[in-house]
Structure 1
Amino acid sequence: MPLSRRALLAATGAAALFPVLPTEASARPRPRSAEAIRQIPLQGAVNVRDLGGYVTYDGGRVRYGRAYRSDHLAKLTEADLTALAGLGLGTVVDLRIPAEVGYDGADRLPAGPVPVARPVTDNGLFGQLMAAIGSRDPVRQEEMLGGGRAAAFMCEVYRTFVTDAANRAAFAATLRDLADPRRGPLLFHCTSGKDRTGWTSWLLLTLLGVPESSARADYLASNAFRAANDARVREGLKQAGLMQDPELIVPLQEVRNAYLDTALDQVRASYGSLFRYVSVGLGLELRELAALRERLVAGA
């Protein structure tokens, strides 16, 4: 269990700062309802949320208005830009790879926030999806995505969050930015705001001392926020004659406990503990973790 802020700042035994990785008993909590999460309603993005409001183990609460997560911002309307301007963002971190930016477009942002391109590899997911859909061949699509292959591919994507050095550097830089008051309120996102963004959010909330059940529920909430949009995408693919069975892409559209668990299993395999992943894999120091809590947690 994370220590209080005072103990955190005084700690010399770094392992004491981190909860143990989830056990089998705690790995399937009841998700917190999506309605309890503070969504930022926009027309051109569906998974925009304030990460504030979560209660920590030691009685603190994650501050509102400091950290936001979202899907890509390339399709924002003028009304959306006005709403986004009202958040007072100082920095927007884009975790998409160049191919994704080329396909969906660069972020549309109001005046003020500094855009930061910080690509995290999707392990070929975008290319795999485009190749499958573009083939228009139901046999090839089944061979590429059916029989559990799409879900297995997603698990491999999550392993790279732990094993890929460039990915680790990007996650570490984003957490450092969140701890830096000079950055102002910060929003980070990928394409759908669920995998690279979901892992970053899970890490952030866990490091702030949010219980595993709440951090995981925040991760899983992407399914609720994205459901209607993702269903429209599947229907559009079918109507356009691109896929006879668009349900094949559901594992690519969703977040699942198994995906997050794959990353956590890789943390154990590669580093032995979450502490070593954060301190060795991400290279974050105690003072940086203390600054993160100092800036983002109230009342601890």
Structure 2
Amino acid sequence: MNRVIPFEGTNNFRDVGGYLTANGRKVKHGLFFRSDELTGLSEQDLVSFRALNIKTIFDYRDDYEAQKKPDPVFAGAKNIRISAIKADQASQINMPGNAEHADRKTHIIVDMVKNGFFKQFRADTMMMELYTKLPIDNPSYKRLMEIIQHSDNLGLLHHCTAGKDRTGVGSALILLALGVPEETVMEDYLLTNTTMKAFNGKLLTQLAEHVDEVELQNIEHMLGVKEEFMEAVFGSIKKTYGNVDTYFAEEFGLTMKNRETLQNMCLE
């Protein structure tokens, strides 16, 4: 089964099934999907989407992003949105607070260019800070971990704008909870550089006419994923809790017994 699902209106829609755990079991296909924003799904995409039997759409975006590019509503699927980025961090990006009159066709990176983000901040430094904070005391991931423990919530699609940072960490947490080793989690994370390569290249070409070389390099840092970003997640978990097992038990109430139940439900 091809991991990447080629919708016309998304660039990074994937089935996270098929990965092997440390003890040789396999994540079932059709339970966990990850994606970038969904607002561009075509009519044909919508037909194909319904065939996936997705029961829960979990959105990590903030109010501005979701108002600018709202998710489709599917009969029989729950739409849940809890921002994965806390308000103090979101304010650093200097985004406008109201998307009522925003152009829904423009990419959020274009909005950030217009608001001077790439002149004021180094994207790579900000991304390292973001990834370090994301897995700790995050209401969005706490809710995600509750949801995945109930079979009637699966298949689950979780997504953000590009499907790489907030979704990348969410996907990492799901896979780690299922017993998938870190090196495989990293493999899933870095796949975004392949799936988004054409889209990111096109966007960079468009923006090159409007920004200087330093800004363009800064934008490039924001668009890609890097091993050190996910390593920051692993490091933050271990620095705070010592190990992954303690992290899941204390952060989410996912004791070894609860994780065993989850694994029996989601692995084959």
**Both structures adopt the same fold (TM-score exceeding 0.5):** yes
1:77 aligned to 2:57? no
- CA distance in structure 2 between the partners assigned to 1:55 and 1:77 by the alignment: 33
Output the amino acid matched with 1:204: I
Is contact 2:124-2:218 (8 Å) kept?
A: no
Give the drift of 1:130.
6.3
Output the amino acid matched with 2:163: G
- Picking from 152, 161, 164, the partner of 1:194 is 164
- Give the TM-score, by structure 1 length: 0.77
Give the drift of 1:74.
1.1
Give the drift of 1:135.
4.8
Indicate the residue corresponding to 1:217 in structure 2.
Answer: 187
Distance 1:37 1:277, change over 3 A: farther
* Higher CA-based Rg: 1
Indicate the residue corresponding to 2:4 in structure 1.
Answer: 39
Indicate the residue corresponding to 2:127 in structure 1.
Answer: 154
- Picking from 201, 212, 220, the partner of 1:244 is 212
- CA distance in structure 2 between the partners assigned to 1:118 and 1:287 by the alignment: 27
- CA distance in structure 1 between the partners assigned to 2:196 and 2:261 by the alignment: 33
1:116 aligned to 2:92? no
Give the drift of 1:184.
3.0
- Give the TM-score, by structure 2 length: 0.85
SS at match of 2:158: strand
1:285 aligned to 2:255? yes
Output the amino acid matched with 2:17: G
Which ranges of structure 1 fall in alignment gaps of 5 or more residues?
Answer: 1-35
Indicate the residue corresponding to 1:133 in structure 2.
Answer: 113
Is contact 2:118-2:219 (8 Å) kept?
A: no
SS at match of 2:163: coil
Indicate the residue corresponding to 1:107 in structure 2.
Answer: 71
Structure 2 matches for 1:52-63, cutoff 5 A? Answer: 52-63=17-28
Superposed CA RMSD in Å reads 2.1
Distance 1:201 1:37, change over 3 A: farther
1:257 aligned to 2:222? no
Runs (4+) of structure 1 exceeding 4 A deviation are: 128-132
Is contact 1:85-1:111 (8 Å) kept?
A: no
Map Cα deviations across residues 80-100 of structure 1 (whole Å, 9 max, x no partner): 111100101111101111111
Output the amino acid matched with 1:170: S
Output the amino acid matched with 2:181: P
Higher relative contact order (CA 8 A, sep 6+): 1
Give the drift of 1:40.
1.0
Which ranges of structure 2 fall in alignment gaps of 5 or more residues?
Answer: 96-108
Which stretch shows the higher mean deviation, 76-85 or 107-116? Answer: 107-116
Give the drift of 1:111.
2.7
**Equivalences, count:** 250
Output the amino acid matched with 1:160: K
